[in-house]
Chains A and B, each alone.
Chain A
Amino acid sequence: MRRNIPLHLSVNGEAAEASVAPYKTLLEVLREDLDLTGTKHGCELGECGACTVLIDGEPQLSCLVLALECEGRAVQTIEGLARGPELHPLQAAFTDFGGSQCGYCTPGVIMTAAALLERNPHPTREEIKEATAGNLCRCTGYNQIVEAIEDAAAKLRAEAK
């Protein structure tokens, strides 16, 4: 018999507890046990980047991480990015620049971009492309994603001043 195991982690700054099957990935626990369906999946094999979340601030493919490996760690998902009712500059820029069309890859790309801007507030276009190269998008053609991240970077820098 499979027995569930208790899991404690921080999700978007709040303590979360779940009793999870040990074979479950972080992706599955977020979506199925914690009802955080904002994180998507496109392959569940680590190929597409749609499931990217931040674990202790680092972008990770949640489909390749066992939930139990996240015991005691801090996970950030798309649901935690907005500032109350206000969109995070990345979120606003993605929709204003057309960086999101069907919207399915969007949460993963935005989380990847959030980590990039955290460690590099002044990324070049090439650095943006490199950072997001693991996030496949079939709709946009990427140009608008790069533009959105550049715009958000500028806004965040202005905020930091």
Chain B
Amino acid sequence: MKKRLDVIGKPRRRVDGRAKVTGHLRFADDLAMPRMLHAKLLRSPHPHAVIERVDVEKAKKHPGVHLVLTGRDFPVPFGIMPVSVDEFPLAPERVRYVGDPVAAVIAKDEQTAVEAIGLIEVSYRVLPPVSTPEEGLQNPEPRIHDYGEQGNIHRNQSYEFGDIDESLKKSDLVFEDLFFYEGNTHLPMEQQASLAFLDGEGKLQLSSSTQNPHYLHRQLARVLQIAESRIRVVATPNGGGFGGKCDPGGHEFVVSKAALVLGRPVKIGLTREEVFYVHRGRHPVLMKMKTGVTKDGKLTGMHLQTLLDGGGYGSHGPASTFYTGVLTPVTYHYPRFKFEACRVFTNKPACGPKRGHGTPQPRFGQEVQLDKIAGKLGIDPAELRLRNLVKKDSLTASWLRVGSIGLEECIRKVTEMSGWKARRGKLGRGRGLGLACSTYMCGAGVAIYWNKMPHSGVQILLDRSGTVIVYCGATEIGQGSDDVLAAIAAETLGVDTSVVRVVTGDTGITPVDLGSYSSRVTIMAGNAAVQAAERLRAQVAAAVSETLGTLPDRVVFAQGKVFAAEDPSRAMSFVEAVAIAEAALGTLSAVGSYSPPKPPGKYKGSGVGPSPAYSFSACVVETEVDERTGWIHVPKIWIAHDIGRALNPTLARGQVIGGVYMGLGEALMEEQSFRRLPEKLSGALVHRAPSMLDYKSLTSLDMPDVEVALIEDPDPNCPYGAKEVGQGPLLPVMPAVANAIYDAVGVRIDEIPITPDKVLRALENKDKRVGPASFPAVPYPEPTFVLPPWEEGDGKETRKNAAAAVV
């Protein structure tokens, strides 16, 4: 009924803004309760060892200690993915990385707990550590885990969509490149913290800095062996997540168990060093990319191989492994595509999901390789990309359905803003421009555990004061999900966000939402909120239509008024309308829920990659490179992001610039790297930098100005057309930096991060390149073979020789 939008699309102070600038907002570690005790974890000093004995007697006797827990207290393992349940809150018999938690002390204060931790004696039998995937492939024994594909291979997979060898053979040119992307970590400003206690009914409540209270809820029930109905998880506002608070953490189980045993509130706050151990960050990935192309710059196919350094546990690894391949064909049309991926366990903190989850690594390789292809063919890199774009409403070779795609406009916009045509290659020695593109999902099409229930639920309550209360399990991690819910409810009901109260992330109160991961909240919780609000609006419209002298579907809700479409003077306030409806219908409430569409692919493994929609980004980076020092200065970045529609442009722009910031940090300096201690000190594999001082990230002085263009072409699958913006804009930055450095000084740095020493080395190298030199022999399995849609495939697996008969 209403064509103009009053709330959506207008820059607006976020609903939780005031609480954040006044210090009013309570993060997990800001919580305190009477009689609260404090927990501290003892962590392994060895990367790989058998625990032979844990003696806690002295610690137990230490004055002020209330409880000591060890692996024996937690017989049941956990794991965020059902196929990787391989972790214990406290390691019972084996430690798999330096920092693996082994025991816990609960004491009257933190200082006492720290003292008692020092009194626990653990005897370890040290095992040889596996420090890289290559070592893991070479040394199947000792196995880090007794499950997985074989030896120390956790996941190993291969998919082929059409005969790739044939298409590469027929290509005019084939480019083969190796790339490496070093691991890095989320580094949220807030260190994880949790507070557990028993409520008035004796039920467990855990308030925790988690992105996924629903999954944590399920894991707590599993590990503690109590009914889910006796547990309430409250996700406190996260002081940054970026994927680092998706996995359940050992500390969350420890305080929960301790609260159950002691009947007192128990709190834990991790130190910054511990946050580095918890990790679950970006996987280091080695990549081999073989791409065929015609002389006029048409891509013919890609064969991608990846090797992931998984760290000591499964975490989200099975999904991460898929993500190093599956989104590669979403930006450009590859008639055929093959990807093989292998994740190896190593004795380092577990890798997992970080902003972009598994996709920044292959995107880096793909976009740098395209730059090389463009150079070789003498085609402008922007033009090469434009020639190969995926078409709107089409399928990829791998059977992903791409609906709206604003990438063409992103490329045109970003080249225009940066003066690409006039400036690229003409800035003089030492200065350059680089372009890259990317895409990301708007929510994973499949839940982490198999079920047929909705991915998101929203309940909205209206009361006679005119207040709109929105309940949803979504978690505010700083990205603005509360504001998204408020904006959608307000717009749909024709009110201002100031009358909307949002209650989120509380498994005891709010309908299930799967969590703040995979850029799913705007789309999934947003669609559920639209449905709930529309149902409520229909109730109110039915109740007031007679008074307004019109039909229910002619009742308009806008700007706090309810009126007849044909005569806006027949009007009442929203509050009056709600009172009439409440009198007529009773208490007003409605629910909405959302499940993503079924993916078109029917082969085993086709559940990873599908999404209701994909966002797209294009980025141009300018660099100044000092050839004497290798120093890289980035004065300016332009980025265009296809967001469908910006619900709140202030927040959308903030997500874009924040993504660019994190991408630039990864491109230039962030790395989670390790070193081996000398043998006399234990020979352990340790972080080079478990501190913020040594783990380099950009400061305000390093950060360039970012010029943002939001490309708005509303997507029909998304609420008010809004696609994701939390992860996508990070992705094109790293390859754009690499391409800009090439434009500036003619060297190819085929690995991330790109540091001054690598630039200097490349300038000295004959081939003007720094990057991996070889790819190990990985025993990838026989591929699952699926014919692309245009080769008469049906989305199901077939045999390759059967395919040959068809072709």
- Interface residues of A, Cβ cutoff 8 Å to B: 21, 23, 31-32, 35-45, 47-48, 50, 77-79, 81-82, 87, 90-92, 94-98, 100-107, 110, 128-130, 132-146
- Interface residues of B, Cβ cutoff 8 Å to A: 13-14, 16-27, 29-30, 32, 111, 186-191, 237-242, 271-272, 477-480, 650-651, 653-654, 657-662, 691-693, 697-701, 703, 705-706
Distance of A128 Cα from B661 Cα, bound (Å) = 18
- Chain B, Cβ-Cβ closest to A110: B21
A136 near B189 with CB under 8 A, answer yes
Nearest Cβ on chain B to A32's Cβ, whole angstroms:
8
Give the chain B neighbours of A78 by CB distance below 8 A.
21-23
Distance of A78 Cα from B189 Cα, bound (Å) = 17
Distance of A114 Cα from B634 Cα, bound (Å) = 29
B23 near A104 with CB under 8 A, answer no
Subset of 11 A-B contacts with CB under 8 Å? A87-B21, A91-B21, A95-B18, A98-B650, A98-B651, A103-B16, A107-B23, A129-B700, A139-B240, A139-B478, A141-B654
Distance of A112 Cα from B278 Cα, bound (Å) = 30
- Chain A, Cβ-Cβ closest to B21: A91
If A37-B26, A107-B23 touch, does A144 touch B272 (CB 8 Å cutoff)?
no
Distance of A81 Cα from B18 Cα, bound (Å) = 13
Give the chain A neighbours of B692 by CB distance below 8 A.
42-43, 45, 47-48, 136
Nearest Cβ on chain A to B239's Cβ, whole angstroms:
3
Distance of A42 Cα from B14 Cα, bound (Å) = 24
A138 near B189 with CB under 8 A, answer yes
Distance of A42 Cα from B274 Cα, bound (Å) = 12
Give the chain A neighbours of B19 by CB distance below 8 A.
103
Nearest Cβ on chain A to B482's Cβ, whole angstroms:
12
Distance of A138 Cα from B700 Cα, bound (Å) = 11
Nearest Cβ on chain A to B487's Cβ, whole angstroms:
15
Give the chain A neighbours of B187 by CB distance below 8 A.
138
If A43-B692, A96-B650, A102-B239 touch, does A87 touch B18 (CB 8 Å cutoff)?
yes
Give the chain A neighbours of B650 by CB distance below 8 A.
96-98
Give the chain B neighbours of A94 by CB distance below 8 A.
20-21
Give the chain A neighbours of B660 by CB distance below 8 A.
141
Distance of A139 Cα from B237 Cα, bound (Å) = 14
Partner of B477, one of A48, A79, A102, A107: A102
Query: 4 smallest A-B Cβ distances: which pairs?
Result: A38-B23, A102-B478, A103-B20, A104-B239
Partner of B22, one of A32, A87, A129: A87
With A41-B29, A143-B703 given, can you name 12 additional A-B contacts, CB distance below 8 Å? A38-B22, A41-B191, A47-B691, A48-B272, A48-B692, A92-B21, A95-B17, A95-B21, A102-B20, A133-B700, A138-B187, A146-B700
Distance of A97 Cα from B271 Cα, bound (Å) = 31
Distance of A6 Cα from B26 Cα, bound (Å) = 28
Give the chain B neighbours of A77 by CB distance below 8 A.
23
B27 near A104 with CB under 8 A, answer yes
B657 near A141 with CB under 8 A, answer yes
B27 near A40 with CB under 8 A, answer yes
Give the chain B neighbours of A23 by CB distance below 8 A.
111
A102 near B237 with CB under 8 A, answer yes
A106 near B20 with CB under 8 A, answer yes
Give the chain A neighbours of B693 by CB distance below 8 A.
45, 47
B703 near A142 with CB under 8 A, answer yes
A106 near B21 with CB under 8 A, answer yes
- Chain B, Cβ-Cβ closest to A81: B22
- Chain A, Cβ-Cβ closest to B707: A143
Most buried by B among A40, A81, A101, A141: A141
Distance of A37 Cα from B660 Cα, bound (Å) = 31
A138 near B703 with CB under 8 A, answer no
Distance of A65 Cα from B661 Cα, bound (Å) = 31
B700 near A135 with CB under 8 A, answer yes
Give the chain A neighbours of B13 by CB distance below 8 A.
95-96
Give the chain A neighbours of B24 by CB distance below 8 A.
38
Partner of B17, one of A40, A100, A145: A100
Nearest Cβ on chain B to A111's Cβ, whole angstroms:
10
Nearest Cβ on chain B to A126's Cβ, whole angstroms:
8
Most buried by B among A38, A87, A104: A104
Partner of B480, one of A38, A41, A101: A101
Distance of A100 Cα from B17 Cα, bound (Å) = 7
Distance of A36 Cα from B24 Cα, bound (Å) = 9
Nearest Cβ on chain A to B193's Cβ, whole angstroms:
10
- Chain A, Cβ-Cβ closest to B191: A42
Give the chain A neighbours of B657 by CB distance below 8 A.
140-141, 143-144
B22 near A104 with CB under 8 A, answer no
A129 near B701 with CB under 8 A, answer yes
B189 near A42 with CB under 8 A, answer yes
Give the chain B neighbours of A92 by CB distance below 8 A.
21
Distance of A35 Cα from B760 Cα, bound (Å) = 52
Distance of A38 Cα from B191 Cα, bound (Å) = 15
Partner of A101, one of B18, B658, B697, B698: B658
- Chain B, Cβ-Cβ closest to A93: B21
Most buried by B among A32, A97, A106: A106
Distance of A18 Cα from B650 Cα, bound (Å) = 42
A42 near B662 with CB under 8 A, answer no
- Chain A, Cβ-Cβ closest to B12: A96
A50 near B703 with CB under 8 A, answer no
Partner of A140, one of B22, B23, B237, B658: B658
- Chain B, Cβ-Cβ closest to A88: B21
Nearest Cβ on chain B to A24's Cβ, whole angstroms:
9
Distance of A45 Cα from B23 Cα, bound (Å) = 21
- Chain B, Cβ-Cβ closest to A46: B693
Nearest Cβ on chain A to B266's Cβ, whole angstroms:
16
Partner of A45, one of B477, B479, B691, B703: B691
Nearest Cβ on chain A to B188's Cβ, whole angstroms:
6
B22 near A79 with CB under 8 A, answer yes
A100 near B21 with CB under 8 A, answer yes
B23 near A50 with CB under 8 A, answer no
Give the chain A neighbours of B703 by CB distance below 8 A.
129, 141-143
Partner of B661, one of A37, A81, A142: A142
Distance of A103 Cα from B700 Cα, bound (Å) = 16
Most buried by B among A100, A110, A133, A136: A100
- Chain A, Cβ-Cβ closest to B479: A101
A102 near B691 with CB under 8 A, answer no
A140 near B654 with CB under 8 A, answer yes
Give the chain B neighbours of A50 by CB distance below 8 A.
189
Distance of A60 Cα from B26 Cα, bound (Å) = 22
Nearest Cβ on chain A to B283's Cβ, whole angstroms:
20
B239 near A43 with CB under 8 A, answer no
A103 near B25 with CB under 8 A, answer yes
B239 near A141 with CB under 8 A, answer no
Distance of A105 Cα from B16 Cα, bound (Å) = 15
A37 near B30 with CB under 8 A, answer yes
- Chain A, Cβ-Cβ closest to B480: A101
B700 near A142 with CB under 8 A, answer yes
B191 near A133 with CB under 8 A, answer no
Distance of A106 Cα from B478 Cα, bound (Å) = 12
- Chain A, Cβ-Cβ closest to B654: A98
- Chain B, Cβ-Cβ closest to A36: B23
Distance of A137 Cα from B657 Cα, bound (Å) = 12
Distance of A97 Cα from B187 Cα, bound (Å) = 24
- Chain B, Cβ-Cβ closest to A95: B17
A133 near B30 with CB under 8 A, answer no
- Chain B, Cβ-Cβ closest to A23: B111
A104 near B189 with CB under 8 A, answer yes
Give the chain B neighbours of A137 by CB distance below 8 A.
189, 700
Partner of B691, one of A43, A82, A141: A43
- Chain B, Cβ-Cβ closest to A47: B692
Nearest Cβ on chain B to A84's Cβ, whole angstroms:
12
Partner of A42, one of B16, B190, B480: B190
Give the chain B neighbours of A42 by CB distance below 8 A.
189-191, 272, 692
Give the chain B neighbours of A135 by CB distance below 8 A.
700
Distance of A143 Cα from B32 Cα, bound (Å) = 35
Nearest Cβ on chain A to B647's Cβ, whole angstroms:
13
Partner of B706, one of A21, A132, A141: A141
Give the chain A neighbours of B701 by CB distance below 8 A.
129-130, 133
Distance of A1 Cα from B16 Cα, bound (Å) = 44
